[in-house]
């Protein structure tokens, strides 16, 4: 589903990720971990083309990212749900509108849109905040909304960047079980996190990144 | 279709959410348009004045002294059939004397010592607008003056020249300031919308990351721009209409003779104002949103 | 003192960082000022024209027919000593006849049959500006006409009245459009800076949370506003100066007689433009930043 | 140093924190914990007056927050260093300028300013990012800058809201030891976090918040 072949990305002259070979199968749930600044976010950005590699090849689902045309990029991104590390919620839209946006972009019909949004809000436990603006939410609540937005359209691939950084233990568990449920239904999931508690004893693939290189790949 | 609906919805809710900002922009655009509009009104009025002066321009054909009224009638028919002649007025010797006395006013005592009316009868002829150019007119009068019975032909060559010069100056002034002002207005709209747009950069970035197409991103902005522009334009029409009525009424009170020159405000302004606002803002927004790159 | 330095530093670096946006605002402010400036130039020129027409206004005092040159001299001295008289020109009978013939042009054949010069000699008198009001002038001429040797006094009462009316209309037009334009300009500056300010809301919120005083927050904005305003004003002065020179040269080419009316652009514009820009932007920024509440 | 007496805060009709009695001594280092949406951030906001309570009294250092005049609030805030949950870095300023701002606000002289900023950047291990803009930093790096900004002026009180949410284990330890060093020099510190690993076995006061009420107060 996601394949990196000898991928390197530089910012200026400094390499941020170097020589990455990576393979995530369809239906897999994998973790990327590593210290702050290791390049986890950058690696995810390469997948949804927010950054482009200087070297190497990346393919995502049916897309070959070297050959994809500018105007097709939105369609690549619609195959992917992304939980951004900094949430990227729109502060002038309500919680409902923020999540609905992901549906509108995909041209979902108004009635199924409303249904989907309400369901996912219930799933993350924030149905009662539907009409609030993000700035009136707690940090953890914002994070849950970001997660809901990434999942509402049932994407092929789900990328989650530090999805539990602002969540307490119980909330984190809820979110993880949501992820697993999605995964069971076929969504390929890649989670970047520094929180080793998330992946220990899960039996899932864990990729250790350090200074932009893959240090090791184990099973958590 | 659904996308258009979503865009319109987004545009409306964005417009409403940032209502104060948008009102500000609408006012700015309104100011720009109003300036341009006042200029247009001014230039229409000036043009109407110039046209009227041209309409009033006439040449005078003095007839021979001893001419009979039959001959006069024949000449009249001859002139009036000329394709360049618009209208013709016959002025008898007596009328001419009265007019001269009128003109001289207190100085008319010069005429007291004159026993016999020394003035000839004449035709005052208005010519078509096309021929009102010194060179052409001179040719024409040279022709006319060879007609038997015609003594002399007079026309205010200097007046005509200065009239033509004035109209040329007006035209070039209108052209220069017109272009300058029009670009200023477009620029004000553009700048306003561009500034508004900067606020939304983050939003656009996020939309791009969420998989929105260019159209999806651009449409609400263009619609919002058009909403603002239309509002600004309508506001402008309204205020121009009101203030023009006020000013022109006040001016006519002070100077009733202006009535002949002042053009009335076309009702169409209530269409053109909003339309201009919408089009300008659309163009402005289009460039403001710019090229969306992924 | 250190705070002022920090503010200035911040203002400069903010101005530089948002240079394109700020350039845009400077251009907008420049547009606003330029519109106002063109209006001022136009109104100066119109006023200069009106003043010149007033200066050319004169009354004519016709003397009795049989008057001797000694008496004429005495009268001349009498009039010239009047405190309301500005200057005086003596016109002899002969000169008067020549002028009349000149004026009548081709129509002067009326005078051919006149043997003896029927015209009186006269004084053409220019009066002080204060007295150039129909009512006052009528009083004055009534007085003058009682002086022995004076036959009749003539002045273009209608001309004077229409001159006064024109100048009144000009004045009220200037006042109306002037206020309208000035507020538009202030509004354009205000709106521009207000919009710019919206972008910085988050920044201001953060500054407040970090313990910045009102002064600390406000100063850089005001300074940035003034920098933008000064730049816009300078730009405006420059472009006005250049385009006025161009337009007035072109106009004078077309109509050399304009030379007498066209005022030259005061050099001061290079001071007033930036100053106006700075002040307006300061006011605009001040209100744009608004009340900072903790 | 910080004292809450029967403090309640409502948003609209909903109570967010209710009936809080709290006392943090000068020189103490205490933790507030609790699930997402418990009211931790709101409690901190009450201290630096970003929110005002509907009921109760709060005093902070020499300030009685009920009686403080508007124009004195900046001076209260200068006694406090705050690590915001969402960082609140200025994205149009470099890392150096962001941190320098906290010093400029306090009117620090240019040369000591430069010295202080450089020192704290070294302390958090980001001296090499001094000239970068925040958007070019990783999530963890941004968090460290936010922490550095709060500490650079050596405030009387340090409030840290979820300061390790984006940090790996090693970075979190570095930051915590920085906090402890500061605390040893006399700074009163209050840390809001859902990460129980931070306070277990520290022997510090831990306040458990739930649904806006203090559930218990223990020693970690
Ligand atoms: N646009 C950019 N320009 C320059 N440097 C960048 C840019 N984006 C990231 N970097 C640098 O690349 C390195 C890796 O960043 P990245 O965000 O991928 O780290 P990360 O593994 O996600 O860390 P964290 O756990 O803190 O989020 C960091 O040192 C960061 O400063
Ligand atoms: N300005 C506001 N208006 C309305 N509700 C608010 C506002 N600020 C916070 N809330 C609500 O108050 C509750 C407590 O928020 P707070 O930010 O204090 O939680 P928290 O303990 O910091 O949670 P987290 O660990 O997720 O950051 C939340 O349910 C939030 O939605
Ligand atoms: Mg990251
Ligand atoms: Mg919080």
Residue B209 has pLDDT above 80, yes or no: yes
Identify the pLDDT of residue B63.
87
pLDDT at C174: 76
Among A20-29, A116-125, C210-219, D56-65, the range scoring the smallest mean pLDDT is: C210-219
Band of residue C108 on the pLDDT scale cut at 50, 70, 90: low
Alpha helices in A17-138 (DSSP H): 40-47, 73-78, 95-105, 110-124
Claim to verify: residue B174 and residue B37 sit in the same structural domain: yes
Please tell me the predicted confidence (pLDDT) of residue A31.
Answer: 97
Q: Give the Å distance between the CA of B202 and the centre of ligand 1.
A: 19
Rounded to whole angstroms, how far apart are CA atoms A155 and A39?
24
Question: To the nearest whole percent, how much of chain C has pLDDT over 90?
Answer: 6
Which residue has the CA at smallest separation from atom 24 of ligand 2? D36
Instruction: For residue B22, give its domain range.
Output: 2-53+162-291
Q: In angstroms, rounded to a whole number, what is the distance separating the alpha carbons of residues A9 and A15? A: 6
d(CA C188, CA D44): 42
| pLDDT at A22 (0 to 100) | 94
Whether pLDDT at C64 is above 80: yes
The pLDDT tens digits for A141-160 are 999 999 999 999 999 999 99
Residue A169 has pLDDT above 60, yes or no: yes
At residue B14, the pLDDT reads: 82
At residue D209, the pLDDT reads 95
Shortest-distance ligand to the CA of residue A40 = 1
**All partners of chain C with 3 or more CB pairs under 8 angstroms:** B, D
Q: Which of C129, C154, C179 is the last residue of a domain?
A: C154
What percentage of chain A exceeds 70 in pLDDT? 100
| Dihedral sign for Cα atoms in the order B31, B36, B41, B46 | positive
In 3D, which of D4, D150, D136, D9 has the Cα closest to residue D84? D150
Statement: residue C237 has pLDDT above 60: yes
- SS3 label, residue C239: helix
| Cβ–Cβ under 8 Å, residues D44 and D94 | no
For residue A74, the model assigns a pLDDT of 95
DSSP string, C104-124: HGGGGGGGGG--S--PPPEEE
**Ligand 2 atom 31: residue of nearest CA:** A137
- Per the listing, tokens 């393919």 go with A59
Domain co-membership, C280 together with C195: yes
Over residues D76-96, mean pLDDT: 95
Same domain? For C48 and C170 the reply is yes
pLDDT value at position C107? 60
Clarify whether residues C214 and C119 are in a common domain: no
Q: Which helix (H) or strand (E) holds A17?
A: strand A14-24
At residue B109 the predicted structure's pLDDT band, cuts being 50, 70 and 90, is low
**Is it the case that residue C202 has pLDDT exceeding 90?**
no
Q: How many CA atoms lie within 13 A of C220 on its CB side?
A: 24
Mean pLDDT of C255-272: 76
Domain end position, chosen among C103, C120, C154: C154
Residue tagged 């004078």 (tokens): C252
pLDDT at position D172, please? 93
Picking from B121, B146, B115, the residue whose alpha carbon sits closest to that of residue B66 is B121
Does the beta-carbon distance from A74 to B213 stay under 8 Å? yes
Q: Residue D211: is its pLDDT beyond 60?
A: yes
Measured between beta carbons, which residues in chain B are less than 8 angstroms from residue C288?
Answer: none
The owner of tokens 């458990």 is D208
- CATH number of the domain residue B95 falls in: 3.30.70.3040
pLDDT exceeds cutoff 90 at A163:
yes
Which one of the ligands is nearest to A193 CA?
1
Question: Would you say D30 and D24 are in contact if contact means Cβ atoms under 8 Å apart?
Answer: yes
Mutate which: A68, A82, A105, A154, vs B, most B CBs within 10 A: A105
Q: Model confidence at A21, in pLDDT bands (50, 70, 90)?
A: very high
What are the structure tokens assigned to C173, written together?
A: 């037009």
The vertex-D124 CA angle with D118 and D130, nearest 5°, equals: 45
Same domain membership, residue B148 and residue B104: yes
pLDDT of the residue at C114? 64
A201-205, B172-176, B259-263, D131-135: lowest mean pLDDT where?
B259-263
pLDDT at C110: 61
Looking at the predicted structure, is the pLDDT value of residue B259 above 70?
A: yes
Out of B71-80, B189-198, D53-62, D69-78, which region has the weakest mean confidence (pLDDT)?
B189-198
In DSSP notation, C31-85 reads: HHHHHHHHHHHHHHHHHHHHHHHHHH--EEEEEPTT--HHHHHHHHHHHHTSTTE
What pLDDT is attached to residue C13?
84
User: Would you say C240 and C269 are in contact if contact means Cβ atoms under 8 Å apart?
Assistant: yes
Q: Least CA distance to A88: which residue of chain B?
A: B206
DSSP state at residue A39: S
Q: For residue B112, is pLDDT > 80? A: no
User: Does the pLDDT of residue A120 top 90, yes or no?
Assistant: yes
Q: What whole-number distance in Å separates Cα of residue C135 and Cα of residue C56?
A: 19
**d(CA A87, ligand 3 centre) in Å:** 12
pLDDT score recorded for residue C291: 82
Q: Tell the residue number behind the tokens 């001289």, with chain if given.
A: B104
Pocket of ligand 2 (CB under 6 A): A 136-141, 166; D 11, 16, 34, 36-42, 85, 194
User: CA C144 to CA C134: how far, in whole Å?
Assistant: 15
Same domain (yes/no): B276, B193: yes
Do B195 and B103 share a structural domain?
A: no
C74 and C215 inside one domain: no
* Cα separation, A206 vs A32, whole angstroms: 6
DSSP notation for B164-193: HHHHHHHHHHHHHHHHHHHHHHHHHHHHHH
Average pLDDT of chain A is 94
Rounded CA-CA distance D98/B98 in Å is 91
Indicate if the pLDDT at residue C200 is higher than 60: yes
Q: Shortest Cα distance from A106 to chain B (angstroms)?
A: 8
Q: What is the C-alpha separation between B294 and A78, in angstroms, rounded?
A: 14
**Tens of pLDDT, residues C32-59:** 788 778 778 877 888 888 888 888 888 8
Q: Is the dihedral of CA C5, C6, C8, C9 positive or negative?
A: positive
Q: How confident is the model at residue B114 (pLDDT cuts 50, 70, 90)?
A: low
User: Whole-angstrom Cα distance, residue A67 to residue A86?
Assistant: 29
Q: Is the pLDDT of residue B246 over 90?
A: no
Give the residue among A87, A196, A85 at the shortest CA–CA distance from A141: A87
- Where do the H-state alpha helices sit in B2-133? 2-17, 19-56, 69-80, 93-104
Res A113: pLDDT: 94
Residue A65 or residue B55, greater confidence: A65
Contact B56, B127 (CB under 8 A): no
Residues in chain C closer than 8 A to D101 (CB atoms): 207, 210
D85 vs A139: CB contact, 8 Å cut-off? Answer: yes
In this prediction, residue D40 has a pLDDT band, given cuts at 50, 70 and 90, of very high
Chain center to CA of D138:
21
% residues pLDDT > 70 (chain B): 91
CA dist list (Å): A215 to A8, A34, A190, B5, C231: 15, 9, 17, 50, 56
Atom of ligand 1 nearest to the CA of D139: 27
pLDDT at C262 over 80: no
- Same domain for B48 and B170, yes or no, is yes
Best mean pLDDT range from B137-151, B271-285, D98-112: D98-112
Cα B10 from Cα D215, distance rounded (Å)? 44
Instruction: Tell me the C-alpha distance between D99 and D90, whole Å.
Output: 10
User: How far lies D18's CA from each of D12, D40, D55, D162, in Å?
Assistant: 14, 12, 9, 21
The structure tokens listed for B23 are 């009102």
Q: Judge whether B1 and B219 are in contact, CB under 8 Å.
A: no
Ligand 3 midpoint to CA A209 (Å): 12
> Which among A83, A87, A140 is the top mutation candidate for probing chain D, defined by the most D β-carbons within 10 Å of its own β-carbon?
A140
Question: Please, which pLDDT band fits residue A87 given cuts at 50, 70 and 90?
Answer: very high
Binned at pLDDT 50, 70 and 90, residue A72 comes out as: very high
How many structural domains are present in chain C?
Answer: 2
List, for residues C282-294, the tens digit of each pLDDT value.
887 888 778 888 8
pTM: 0.81
- Residue A42 pLDDT class (50, 70, 90 cuts): very high
pLDDT digits (tens, 9 = 90+) for D171-187: 999 999 999 999 999 99
Tell me the mean pLDDT in the region A14-43.
95
Per-residue pLDDT for B194 more than 80? Answer: no
Same domain for B65 and B88? yes
Which of C99, C126, C154 delimits the end of a domain?
A: C154
Tell me which residue of D150, D149, D188 sits closest to D31, measured CA to CA: D188
Q: What are C133-160's pLDDT values in tens digits? A: 888 888 888 888 888 888 888 888 878 8
Local structure of C267: helix, strand or coil: coil
The verdict on B274 and B196 lying in the same domain is: yes
Tell me: pLDDT of C194 over 80: no
* Higher-scoring residue by pLDDT: B41, B185: B41
Instruction: State the SS3 of B56-71.
Output: HCCEEEEECCCCCHHH
State the Cα–Cα distance between residues C240 and C242, nearest whole angstrom: 5
Give yes or no for residue C106 having a pLDDT over 60. Answer: no
Phi, psi at residue D193, to the nearest 5°? -160, 155
Residues in chain D: 220
Q: Are residues B119 and B204 in the same domain?
A: no
Report the pLDDT value the prediction gives residue B113, as an integer from 0 to 100.
61
Per-residue pLDDT tens for B13-55?
888 877 887 888 888 888 878 877 877 887 788 888 888 888 8
Residue C207, pLDDT score: 94
pLDDT of residue B179: 78
SS3 content of chain C, % helix, strand, coil (to 5): 75, 10, 15
Mean model confidence pLDDT for chain C: 82
User: Biggest alpha carbon distance in chain B?
Assistant: 102
């Amino acid at each position: 589903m996601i394949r990196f072949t000898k991928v390197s990305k530089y910012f200026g002259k400094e390499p941020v990720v170097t020589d990455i070979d990576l393979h995530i199968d369809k239906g897999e749930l994998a973790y990327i971990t590593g210290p702050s600044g290791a390049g986890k976010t950058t690696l995810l950005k390469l997948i949804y083309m927010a950054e482009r590699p200087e070297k190497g090849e990346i393919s995502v689902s049916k897309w070959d990212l070297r050959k994809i045309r500018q105007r097709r990029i939105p369609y690549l991104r619609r195959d992917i749900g992304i939980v951004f590390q900094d949430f990227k919620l729109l502060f002038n839209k309500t919680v409902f509108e923020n999540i609905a946006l992901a549906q509108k972009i995909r041209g979902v019909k108004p009635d199924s849109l409303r249904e989907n949004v309400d369901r996912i809000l219930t799933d993350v436990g924030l149905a009662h905040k539907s009409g609030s603006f993000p700035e009136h939410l707690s940090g953890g609540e914002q994070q849950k909304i970001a997660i809901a937005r990434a999942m509402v359209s049932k994407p092929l691939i789900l990328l989650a960047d530090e999805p539990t950084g602002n969540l307490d233990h119980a909330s984190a568990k809820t979110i993880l079980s949501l992820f697993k449920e999605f995964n069971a239904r076929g969504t390929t999931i890649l989670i970047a996190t520094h929180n080793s508690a998330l992946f220990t004893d899960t039996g899932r693939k864990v990729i250790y990144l350090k200074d932009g290189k893959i240090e090791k790949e184990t099973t958590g | 279709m659904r996308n258009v609906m979503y865009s319109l919805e987004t545009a409306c809710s964005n417009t409403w959410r940032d209502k104060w900002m948008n009102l500000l922009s609408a006012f700015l655009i309104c100011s720009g348009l109003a300036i341009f509009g006042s200029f247009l009104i001014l230039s229409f009025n000036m043009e109407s004045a110039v046209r009227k002066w041209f309409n009033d321009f006439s040449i005078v054909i003095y007839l021979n002294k001893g001419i009979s009224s039959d001959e006069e009638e024949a000449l009249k028919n001859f002139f009036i059939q000329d394709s360049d002649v618009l209208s013709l007025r016959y002025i008898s010797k007596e009328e001419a004397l009265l007019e001269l006395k009128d003109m001289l006013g207190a100085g008319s005592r010069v005429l007291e010592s004159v026993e016999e009316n020394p003035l000839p009868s004449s035709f005052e002829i208005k010519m078509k607008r096309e021929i009102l150019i010194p060179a052409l007119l001179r040719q024409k009068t040279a022709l006319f003056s060879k007609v038997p019975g015609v003594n002399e032909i007079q026309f205010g060559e200097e007046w005509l020249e200065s009239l033509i010069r004035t109209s040329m100056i007006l035209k070039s002034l209108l052209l220069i300031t017109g272009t300058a002002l029009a670009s200023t207005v477009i620029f004000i709209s553009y700048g306003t919308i561009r500034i508004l747009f900067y606020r939304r950069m983050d939003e656009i970035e996020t939309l791009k990351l969420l998989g929105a197409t260019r159209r999806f991103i651009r449409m609400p902005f263009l619609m919002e721009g058009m909403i603002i522009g239309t509002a600004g334009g309508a506001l402008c029409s309204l205020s121009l209409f009101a203030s023009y009525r006020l000013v022109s009424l006040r001016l006519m009170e002070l100077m009733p003779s202006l009535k002949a020159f002042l053009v009335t405000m076309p009702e169409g302004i209530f269409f053109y104002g909003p339309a201009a606002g919408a089009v300008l803002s659309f163009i402005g927004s289009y460039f403001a949103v710019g090229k969306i790159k992924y």
